[in-house]
Amino acid sequence: MNDKIADITFTSPPYNAGKTPTESKMQKQQNTMEMTTIKLLSNI
C-alpha cells in the first residue's frame, strides 16, 4: 500500500458479529449437561 493507511478493513469471519457455529454447539452441549445435572440432583 506504499505507506498509505486504510480507511476501512474487512475481516473474515467478521469478528464480534455473533456466535460462530462452534460456539453455538458448545453452548448447547453445556446447557444439556447443566439440565442433566439438575435432573440428577433433584432426584436425590
pLDDT digits (tens, 9 = 90+) for 18-37: 777 787 788 888 888 888 88
Cell of 37: 445435572
| CB neighbour list of residue 19: distance below 8 Å, 6 or more residues apart | 27
Cell of 41: 440432583
pTM (two decimals): 0.43
The share of the chain scoring above pLDDT 90, in percent, equals 0
Say whether pLDDT at 15 is over 70: no
Asked if 32 and 39 count as a contact pair (C-beta separation under 8 A), the reply is: no
> Taking CA 9 as the corner, what is the angle to CA 8 and CA 13, rounded to the nearest 5 degrees?
145
